[in-house]
Amino acid sequence: MSIQRLSVLQWFGALAAAGVAGATFLAGVGVTQAECNPGLKRFGIPHTAAQIAMTAVGVGVTLLAEWAAFVVYRATSDAEEQDPPPEGRQHFFATAALAANVIFLMIILLTGIAALSVHLCRQA
Q: What is the pLDDT of residues 40-93, one digit of tens each?
A: 777 788 888 999 999 999 999 999 999 999 999 999 888 776 777 788 888 889
What is the reported pLDDT for 10?
Answer: 92
Residue 9 in this model has a pLDDT that exceeds 70: yes
Q: How many CA atoms lie within 13 A of 97 on its CB side?
A: 30
Burial of residue 82 (CB within 10 Å: 0-12, 13-18, 19+) is: exposed
What is the reported pLDDT for 34?
Answer: 84
Q: How confident is the model at residue 23 (pLDDT cuts 50, 70, 90)?
A: very high
Q: Which of 20-24, 29-33, 56-60, 69-73 has the lowest mean pLDDT?
A: 29-33
